Amino acid sequence: MPYIAGVDGCPAGWIVVLVEIHEAVVREEALLFGSFEEVLSASPRPAVIAVDSPIGLLERREAGGRQCDREARRVLGKPRSSSIFSPPPRPALTVGDFTEAAVWGLNRQSFGIMAKVRELDDIMTPERQSLVHEVHPEVTFFVMDGLVPMAEGKRSRSGREARRAILGRYFYQVDEMLGKYPRRSVGSEDVLDAYAAAWTAMRIYRKEAGRIPDDPPRDEKGLEMAIWY
């Protein structure tokens, strides 16, 4: 039976929720990898990988970021729209500190994900996009919960509990996987986001998923800039 993977960055690297699927979920496992190259080499090899990280970058700063970022914010509305960070333009990936990043107009959230964005951008190719797809957990939770945005942020206790409850409709071992790794290595919100990515990965595998926008533009590397849901 096929496996799919939902992936999120975490303090120790990348947390992967690997799910064996048939007509429904058969088995779940949370695995921790130090690099995304290791994710790509995971065994068993996933048929679809969905990752909470930008794929496809602009070459220069644009207000509101990429088209998919702007449209996703409009879909979510306030206050959840604030969870959609504009990724750094590709030339900004080499900056060494926040002072330099601010010259590019990056906020601390965008600067904070810089290393993960750079790592993924270094290995992504148009061919790999048939396997690896960009997702955003807040867009996924919006779709999972009947097109209703989450009422609270994921870092609040009630926000985490609401997301865990939604995931519990589709998965069976969320609570078990939340306790698998020390919080200093993998935050609970990282596991929940990886599970959300896994849900979208299942939809992609079953050809049920959509993407924002429907007809995404490509960046200068030929990568499509789209958020799947």
Show pLDDT as tens, one digit a residue, over the chain (229 residues): 899 999 999 999 999 999 999 888 889 999 999 999 999 999 999 999 999 999 999 999 999 999 999 999 999 999 999 999 999 999 999 988 888 888 888 888 788 889 999 999 999 999 999 999 999 999 999 999 999 999 999 999 999 999 999 999 999 999 999 999 999 999 999 999 999 999 999 999 999 999 999 999 999 999 999 999 9
In the structure encoding, which two tokens stand for residue 97, read together?
Answer: 């500190």
Spatial CB neighbours of 99, under 8 Å, sequence gap ≥ 6: none
pLDDT at 229: 98
Tell me which residue of 137, 116, 139 sits closest to 57, measured CA to CA: 116
pLDDT at 99: 87
Tell me which residue of 217, 221, 168 sits closest to 196, measured CA to CA: 168
| Alpha-carbon torsion, ordered 206, 202, 132, 93, to 10 deg | 140
pLDDT at 111: 85
pTM for this one?
A: 0.95
Beta bridge partners of 180: none
How far, CA to CA in Å, does 170 sit from each of 22, 44, 214?
13, 21, 26
Please state the domain extents for the chain. 1-85+113-229
pLDDT at 144: 97
Give the C-alpha separation, 72 to 57, whole Å: 16
How far, CA to CA in Å, does 209 sit from each of 73, 132, 174?
19, 14, 22
How far, CA to CA in Å, does 119 sit from each of 37, 43, 90, 94, 218?
9, 21, 12, 11, 19
pLDDT at 101: 83
Tell me which residue of 67, 82, 183, 185 sits closest to 134, measured CA to CA: 67
How far, CA to CA in Å, does 84 sit from each of 4, 19, 222?
24, 26, 23
In the structure encoding, which two tokens stand for residue 93, read together?
Answer: 């990936």
pLDDT at 98: 87
pLDDT at 104: 82
Give the C-alpha separation, 83 to 130, whole Å: 26
pLDDT at 205: 98
In the structure encoding, which two tokens stand for residue 171, read together?
Answer: 């998965």
For residues 196 and 144, the answer to whether their CB atoms sit within 8 Å is yes
Q: What does 147-174 look like in DSSP terms, one character per residue?
A: S---SS-TTSHHHHHHHHHHHTTT-S-H
